[in-house]
Structure formats: structure tokens, C-alpha cells
Structure 1
Amino acid sequence: MKFAVVAVFCFAFAASAHADTVVDVLQKLGTEKTLISLVQTAGLVSALEGKGPFTVFAPSDAAFAALPPELVKTLESNKTLLTQVLEFHVAPGKALSTDLKNNLLVPSLGGSKIRVNIYDTSEPIVITAEGAPVTNPDNTADNGVVHVISQVMYPLPTGTVVDIAVGNKDFSTLVTAVTTAGLVPTLSGDGPFTVFAPTNEAFAKLPAGVLDGLLKNVTALTNVLTYHVVAGAYYEAGLRNGDLLKTVQGMDVTIKTSNDAPTMVNDATIATQVSGTNGVIQVIDTVLIPPSMHYELIYNN
């Protein structure tokens, strides 16, 4: 009897000793060499081999290769920043893809929240984490699960969409307009919001006098600005050709996509996207004018 008990104990110990951790899963995937190297540099291997459970949003090697080389070098040399970035890609608890909901905010190990979105208006369903598409979900480990993503979640969302605009000199005209219209408190709220944000150059493309006229007419200015805002977080990965998104102003904007061209909203090109704590900014190169105001502003100014 004692022998049987010892044998069972030894078997259980051997089984637990060979349990797969999320680190083991990353190694077996074969697409996570860069991530594993950075985890080692940050000294986080032992933590991720712990009891957990953990949910890891794991950028692929291709995702890291798409980053500017100088940023990768900075991450490799700045252990504090590297740790912050890596911890933002890990959440406590085990969340399979079936547990994820649209606009779910998942607390990361670093404290900041990861916004999950699910876009199911067409097949296949797209799951994103801070806009990064999940390409290989539900790789389970004994201490959690790994979801492979095709983008690195960087920069970290540290402020609202208003904070992002205020902190970027390329949006100074937009900030002036939003402030004049009294929309700062609204856009600083919980959201989530998608803001199609024209740069200063986009505003400069307006016919002479149009911007000055808008800044003197709060009603018209508010109509134009709210035509740039959509309720909900629409990252580029979730936008489909022909999508009609209802703006806060009340009218729709039209999404245009193709395989060999940048995504567009109406006639504006989306240059890049930036995550905020209450939504996402889609940077555009042209000011969007509501159709009902187009003739008045563009041709009758």
C-alpha cells in the first residue's frame, strides 16, 4: 500500500514537472522568437512560468519586424520600458476567445487596460486587442493561454483621445476647434469613441476662409466636428469596404478599403491609428464635411 501511494505521488510529480507553461507554448509556436528573447531580457521568464493563470497577447516575429528598428533597439536597451510594454501584453486570468466580448477592457499585468474588440459584421469574425488582430487564438497552456497577434501593442494607451490630440503638435488646429466647440468634456468621457482626426495639413487644405468661418460659428463647427466622431472603437482591422458608420452628428461616413491602397473614410485617407484609454484616433489627411453642409462651406464661402 505504501508503495502504491509513493508510486502515485511520483507519477503526479513527474506530470506536473512536465506541464506546459505559456513560455513553453510560445516556444512551440515557432513564431515568437523575438518575444521570447525580449521576455528573457526583461527577466520575466520565471514569472510567466509561475502558477498564473495568464492570458498572453503575443506579437509574432513579423509584428516586431514591422516596428521601426530604432524602437526595437530602445526596447532592448531600456529594461524599464521593455517591462512595461511586455506586461501590457499579459493579463491575469485565462480568457479564451469565447470569453472575449466587444469593448471588453482587460486589466494587464502592468495595470493599464487592454481594449478587446470583436467585429462580426462579416466573415471571418475579427478579434483585436488594442487594434492588433488576433491571428492564432486559444493556444492553451497549463497556466494560461496564448493568443498570437499581428501587431505590437505600442505605444501604450496613456490618455484619452483628447489627451493624445493635445500632446501632438500636428493636431493643434483640431484641438483649437474642439475647444471652441466645447466638446473637450464629451470626448474626455468614458466612450469609447472613434475620432477621425484631421491633421493641421488637412485643415490647411480647406478653401480660404472656411476654417475662420467655422471658428466663428459654433453650431456649424460642432456639426463638422461631430461628423468626425463615431460611438464605439473602430480600429482599422475591423473596417470593411462599404461599411457605413453613423457619426455623432447623425449622418454616415463611408469606409473604402482595397488590398493595394490605404483605407479611406469618405475621401480622406487614414494614415495611422493611435489607441487611447477611451477609444481610438484614426489620423486622416482631409477634413470631412457633412454632405448637407458641403455646398455652403466649400462653394458658397
Structure 2
Amino acid sequence: MRELYHRLYRKLAVLALLLALGQPLLAQEAAKRITLMQYVMQERPVLAELVTKAGLTPVLSGDAPYTILAPPEAELAKLKDLPPVRIRAVLLGHILEGVFQEKDFKDGATLETLAHTSITVCRKKDYTLIDGLRISGDKAQAKNGVVHSLSGKLNL
């Protein structure tokens, strides 16, 4: 009887381990089914408010691929009182056309934002800088792009 309990316990332990290992994969797959706008609405409320005020909801809800270089929420909160046209310009300066994983940012590259401004990439051994701002390890994958967290707001 004791041996039966040990075998059952081992099987349950293996099953629990497999389920635990599968959770990150399930979360990643679920994330790939939501749009950038849905992600922003769920995880970045200040950014969502600004995107809506700037009229950029259709851009982040569509099928076209984009990369958002998202400043911290505290930095974005400082923009709330600006006119929608100015908010739109700032936000477009933080969005790239296409999907860029951090490894895709090449040292010395100059990239054009949707605001038609240029940003410069600087690769270090363990991290990436965009116009001097560090990309943090936080990133979110969506079905129409990716969101990278920045250490601050780009100067546009």
C-alpha cells in the first residue's frame, strides 16, 4: 500500500511540474491573441488614456505591426494636461513601424518613428539604449507587435 502511495505521489508531482512549466507558455500564447491596444488597456492605464485622447486607438488595434517604446507611467502622467495634438506627437515618437525584439536593435542604427523623428540605438554588453534611455527587461508580446519598457521619456 505504501508503494502505491509513493507511485501516486510521484505521478502527481510530475503532473504538477508539467502544469507549472506549461503556464508561462500558455500566458505567452494568450498574450499573442490580444492587440497592443488591449494590452495597454489592461496593463498601462495612463498610456491607454493618452492613446485614446490622442486618437491612436485604431492604430494599436489594427493588424499592422508596431513596436511601442513605452515610458514609465509616471512620465506619461505628466502629459495628461497637454492638448491631444501634442500628446499624439509625443506618442508617435515612441512607436516604430514593424516588430523589433531587443536583439533586433543594432548598435549605431538610426530608426524612424511614426512621428518621423529619428532615434539612435546604442547596444551595450548587457542592455540596449534608445536615445540614451535603457530598455528594461520588461516586454510584452501582442498579436500586432511588442511593447518595450523604457527607463524614461524620449526627448522629441
Q: Could you say which TM-score interval applies, normalised by the shorter chain?
A: 0.7 to 0.9
Give 1:16-27 correspondences, 5 Å limit: none
Native 8 Å contact 2:50 2:80 kept in 1: no
Q: Name the SS of the counterpart of 1:162 in structure 2.
A: helix
Aligned residue number for residue 63 of structure 1:
none
Counterpart code for 1:186: V
Selected match of 2:143 from 277, 283, 301 = 277
Q: Matched residues in 2 for 1:256 and 1:83: separation?
A: 34
Say whether the 8 Å CA contact 1:193–1:279 is kept in structure 2. Answer: yes
In structure 1, the residue corresponding to 2:68 is in which secondary structure? strand
**C-alpha displacement at 1:77, in angstroms?**
5.2
With the length of structure 1 as denominator, give the TM-score of the two structures: 0.43
Pairwise CA distance, 1:248: 0.6
Q: Residue by residue, what CA displacement relative to the aligned partner does 1:164-208 show, whole Å, maximum 9, x if unpaired?
A: 11111xx2211111010110111111111001112213335xxxx
Superposition deviation, residue 83 in structure 1? 8.3
| Corresponding residue for residue 195 of structure 1 | 68
State the match for 2:56 in structure 1: 183
User: Which of structures 1 and 2 has the larger relative contact order (alpha carbons within 8 angstroms, sep 6+)?
Assistant: 2
**What aligned pairs does 1:31-42 form with structure 2 within 5 A after superposition?**
none
Normalized per residue, the structure richer in helix is 2
Q: Contact between 1:203 and 1:286, CA under 8 Å: does it hold in 2?
A: no
Aligned in 2, Cα 1:243/1:233: closer, same or farther, shift over 3 Å?
Answer: same
Q: Which has the larger radius of gyration?
A: 1
TM-score, normalised to structure 2, is 0.78
- Distance of 2:23 and 2:84 partners within structure 1: 45
Contact 1:178-1:225 within 8 A present in 2 as well: yes
The residue aligned with 1:174 is 47
Q: Who is 2:125 aligned against?
A: 259
Distance across 2 between alignment mates of 1:177 and 1:83: 32
Gaps of at least 5 residues in structure 1 are: 1-40, 43-73, 89-153, 205-209, 291-301
Given candidates 117, 129, 133, the residue that maps to 1:268 is 133
Question: What do you get for the CA RMSD once the two structures are aligned?
Answer: 2.4
In structure 1, C-alpha distance between the alignment counterparts of 2:34 and 2:146, rounded to whole Å: 11
**1:236–1:273 contact (8 Å) kept in structure 2:** no
Name stretches of at least 5 consecutive residues in structure 2 with no aligned partner.
1-13
Match among 7, 19, 26 for residue 78 of structure 1:
19
